[in-house]
């Protein structure tokens, strides 16, 4: 088996369409990269958006570049905290998920869906996928070893694309449940 | 192997000493049971205490009866939210853990330690322990199967006492990471 893979924890964040950047930050506004992420071309922005649900709100970082659909990614703990239902979904699969009110410095916008709890997943390049012997869409397990909170994540989706870099992404609930892991071992199911 | 065991999720809560009940709720105050829990004699109370850290606070249920030491049990997400360090500990093992300000209707009290993130564990009666072939203090794994978030918890402590009833306890981060499981299968390590 190849070596362990990088495990990264995604805190709550939002992806925006070009139109929503305009509506929330004003005409002509462009996202300002603050920090580049492990996935090529992806970055955390200086911009923040407040996402409000029936019971509360969070101010969260925008992740760029802009996308075809606006999507809010929160943990199930966050979902409960702001009073929206937690839908565990793959990125982009937002039909029928929770909505929220988005509040930016230049405007507000209600979205009727797009709030998801990201399904845990691993990004592979085709070369990495070949090395680990997995295919796009395959479900694997990942074993993480930490001080006092080791566990084996099941139901981990493999996603393969030339535009990716090898990394597993988990949310803050998953990271906390596993003692904040930074690497893991893929186990074929 | 015997059948699956009950898995219960513990939301944040606080256990109080008799003295702290007096200091927070007033002289002569007695805890009022609201709901009895799976562990014999343990109950959630009508009383609530605000636990404040450097960055925020939560109002949380008191669990009775009173204990020898006051102990706050929160998730690692909660710890970050109120700005205290998350120490994963067994109940009662609070030396060197985080402190907080406790606020009740009759007074406030600073505790210098006692805020823990509970280490996941299973309560067994001696008869149950014999049936499952485990001993007090033994570490096992527990497999839980849910829609899309199945996993295997490692580092689960077995605790055996005549005063217990068979149940595994996990916190809200762990429950969310596992899709809200209500039963699990013990796997010997």
Q: What is the mean pLDDT of residues A8-32?
A: 98
- A6 near B CB under 8 A: no
Give me the residue from B86, B119, B152 closest to A152, CB to CB: B152
Q: What's the pLDDT at A1?
A: 57
Q: What is the mean pLDDT of residues A113-130?
A: 98
Q: What's the pLDDT at A189?
A: 67
pLDDT tens figures, B151-173: 999 999 999 999 999 999 999 99
- B112 near A CB under 8 A: no
Distance of alpha carbon B15 from its chain centroid, rounded?
A: 9
Going by DSSP bridges, is the β-strand pair B5-10/B167-171 parallel, antiparallel, or unpaired? parallel
pLDDT tens figures, A47-67: 999 999 999 999 999 999 999
**CA distance to partner chain B, nearest, from residue A156 (Å):** 8
Stated pTM of the model? 0.96
Which residues, in sequence order, are CB contacts of B42 under 8 Å at separation 6+? B36, B63, B64, B65
Which residues, in sequence order, are CB contacts of A29 under 8 Å at separation 6+? A21, A22, A106
**CA distance to partner chain A, nearest, from residue B2 (Å):** 22
Q: How far apart are CA A7 and CA A1, in angstroms?
A: 17
Q: Which residues pair with B103 in a beta bridge?
A: B50, B108
Phi, psi of A151 (to 5 degrees): -160, 175
**CA distance to partner chain A, nearest, from residue B108 (Å):** 26
Q: Comparing C-alpha atoms, which of A101, A56, A104, A111 is closest to residue A78?
A: A56
Q: What's the pLDDT at A50?
A: 98
End-to-end CA distance of chain B: 14
Around B57, how many Cα atoms within 13 Å sit in the side-chain half-sphere? 11
Going by DSSP bridges, is the β-strand pair A5-10/A43-52 parallel, antiparallel, or unpaired? unpaired
Chain A residue nearest residue B180, CA to CA: A76
Give me the residue from B77, B149, B155 closest to A77, CB to CB: B77
DSSP state of A42: -
Q: Comparing C-alpha atoms, which of B125, B123, B126, B96 is closest to residue B112?
A: B96
Give me the residue from B77, B119, B151 closest to A154, CB to CB: B151
**Inter-chain CB proximity A88 and B119 less than 8 Å:** no
Q: What is the ipTM of this complex?
A: 0.95
pLDDT tens figures, B58-88: 999 999 999 999 999 999 999 999 999 999 9
Report H helices in B26-122.
Answer: 76-82
Give me the residue from A75, A155, A176 closest to B150, CB to CB: A155
Among A97, A140, A149, A171, the strongest candidate for a mutation testing the B interface, having the largest count of B CBs within 10 A, is A149
Q: Comparing C-alpha atoms, which of B30, B35, B10, B50 is closest to residue B174?
A: B10
Q: Taking phi first (over 0 means left), then psi (-120 to 50 degrees means alpha), and beta for anything else, what does residue A114 get? A: left
User: In chain B, what percentage of residues exceed pLDDT 90?
Assistant: 97
Report the SS3 class of residue A138: coil
DSSP state of A177: H
Q: How far apart are CA A104 and CA A17, in angstroms?
A: 14
């Amino acid at each position: 088996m190849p070596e362990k893979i990088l495990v990264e924890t995604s805190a709550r964040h939002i992806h925006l369409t070009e139109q929503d950047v305009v509506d929330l930050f004003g005409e002509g506004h462009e996202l300002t990269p603050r920090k580049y992420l492990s996935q090529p071309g992806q970055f955390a922005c200086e911009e923040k958006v407040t996402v409000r649900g029936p019971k509360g709100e969070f101010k969260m970082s925008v992740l760029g570049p802009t996308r075809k659909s606006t999507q809010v990614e929160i943990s199930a703990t966050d979902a409960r905290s702001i009073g929206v239902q937690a839908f565990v979904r793959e990125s982009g699969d937002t039909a029928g998920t929770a909505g929220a009110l988005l509040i930016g410095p230049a405007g507000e916008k209600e979205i009727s869906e797009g709030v998801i709890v990201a399904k845990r997943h691993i990004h592979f390049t085709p070369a990495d996928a070949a090395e680990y012997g997995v295919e796009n869409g395959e479900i694997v397990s990942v074993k993480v070893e930490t001080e006092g909170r080791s566990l084996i994540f099941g139901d981990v989706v493999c996603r393969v694309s030339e535009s990716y870099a090898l990394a597993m992404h988990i949310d803050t609930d998953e990271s906390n449940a596993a003692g904040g892991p930074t690497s893991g071992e893929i186990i074929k199911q």
